[in-house]
Amino acid sequence: MKKLALTVNGKKYLLSPHPFSRLLDVLREDLKLTGTKEGCGEGECGACSVMLDGKLVNSCLVPVLQADGKQILTVEGLAKKYLTPIQESFLNCGGAQCGICTPGMLMAAYALNRNNKKPTQQEIREGLGGNLCRCTGYCQIIESVQKVGKTKPSTRKGKSRS
Amino acid sequence: MRAYLPDYQCSSANSLSEAFSFLEKGARPIAGGTDIMVLFDAGLLAPGDYVDILGISELKGITKKRNTLTLGALTTYSEVRQHKFLQTNFPILCESAKEVGAVAIQNRGTLGGNIANASPAADFPPALLVYEAKIHLVSSRGMRTIDYTKFHHGYKESELKKDELIHSVSLENHLSKHHHFWRKIGSRKAQAISKTMMAGVLKINKNVIEEVRISFGSVAPTAVRCTEVEKFLTGCPLNKNTIREAKQILLKDIHPIDDIRSTGKYRLAVSQNVLEEFLCGIG
């Protein structure tokens, strides 16, 4: 099989997966980065959201071949020394309940926040529109995104993995 | 059931000529994967060879030449909705792109894929029909151009040959005095596939309809231009009676059926109401 070069959370990998493998499976099974979740497996729920070359994508719909030579950011790559303001805000506002949608929510919030530092509630709803939460915690999730950066910087240690 | 990986093969093509050589050997194209990977994940994608065309630069980009705008087949929904010239001159295209899936789908799904997949519920076709787009198809034999109205033959059937790719779509910009309307009815705001949707452009002069183009999706085997309604409305004064009659004539143009997303009866009633919403909003 052809070797593929993936840069995940800043670290380079040379892999030989089946070209039609889903990026999601390569992240979870080959790289053991299990922060990215599988929900529906058909692009409806957003649990598998990651950034691919700076764009939010559903990793269940990306054949890994198309990630060759690309930069991938997963939830494990968000925190550096400390948690990011987005993660801190989700903690403060109770933006996570069971937690299965949270990695995807964090990535969608991250993608929104990159281009729009002060999103309106409508923009947040649209930015997170592709992400489902089955604990019905949407109010807290939206509040978490609204309050990003409004609390003091995190002192919680991040556990960055790549 | 998940697909069995060894049944599939996929290679990347970096140029059109490379893609043609794969297509001629029977490979099928995959671009953003937002339709194909859904089938794949469900174990429903036909096994065999695929060729990844997402890296072909000849199929990318939006260019403007005088009055003609050309959108490469690999233009994503995100690129369409963010394009300033499109927003001003072809707003229905941007509105429909904005309502496809959500951000993550819009970043991957392409114009060419939306057309080639040939679903009656695809979001771009109604806009392309009312804007009277031309579609450019390319193969090793060269390029050919056809009116978009002639592209779809029936449910999941189109003019596209097995060894051809959609190259681009072009639009003529001459609708600056028209009203532009788009409405999609789905189960929820994000991610929904439509039960019915309508695109319309209309030019009015002293309350008389000078020109009108109406198109519906999800209510026939392909997206359809409503030629009967258009014929009736052209030259009519825009008033309550005209609108009432247009809603009746719509029954000649669309033929919705019951399926997993809705019923024919609901689709018909709502389509009539959307047409009314369009006509009532003018002026």
Q: What is the mean pLDDT of chain A?
A: 93
pTM, two decimals, is 0.94
CATH topology of domain B57-172: 3.30.465
Residue A162 pLDDT = 56
Domain B179-280 annotated CATH 3.30.390.50: yes
Across chain B, which has 283 residues, the per-10-residue mean pLDDT values are 89 97 97 96 95 97 94 98 95 94 96 93 94 97 96 92 97 92 86 90 95 94 95 96 96 90 92 96 82
Contacts of B3 in chain A (CB under 8 A): 20
Chain B segment 186-245 residues within 8 A of A by beta carbon are 189-191
Q: How far is B105 from chain A (nearest CA, A)?
A: 7
Sequence ranges of chain B with CATH classification 3.30.43: 5-52
Alpha-carbon span B63 to B26, nearest angstrom? 31
Residue A38 pLDDT = 96
Q: How far is CA B191 from the centre of its chain?
A: 16
Sequence ranges of chain B with CATH classification 3.30.390.50: 179-280
Residue A151 confidence class, pLDDT cut points 50, 70, 90: confident
Of the candidates B101, B67, B12, B215, which has an alpha carbon nearest to the alpha carbon of residue A61?
B101
Residue A150 confidence class, pLDDT cut points 50, 70, 90: confident
Phi-psi map region of A55: left, alpha, beta (phi>0 left; psi -120 to 50 alpha): beta
User: From the list B3, B11, B105, which residue is nearest A130 (CB)?
Assistant: B105
Residue A160 pLDDT = 58
Domain B5-52 annotated CATH 3.40.50: no
Helices A138-146 and A85-93 pack at an angle, to 10 degrees, of 140
Could A19 and B9 be called an inter-chain contact, meaning their C-beta atoms sit closer than 8 Å?
A: yes
pLDDT at A158 over 80: no
Q: By mean pLDDT, which of A69-83, A146-160, B39-53, B109-123 is the weakest? A: A146-160
ipTM of the complex: 0.94
User: From the list A41, A65, A108, which residue is nearest B41 (CB)?
Assistant: A41
Task: Give the mean model confidence (pLDDT) for residues A29-34.
Answer: 98
Could B10 and A19 be called an inter-chain contact, meaning their C-beta atoms sit closer than 8 Å?
A: yes
Contacts of A57 in chain B (CB under 8 A): 104, 107-108
Task: Give the mean model confidence (pLDDT) for residues A24-29.
Answer: 98
Residue A26 pLDDT = 98
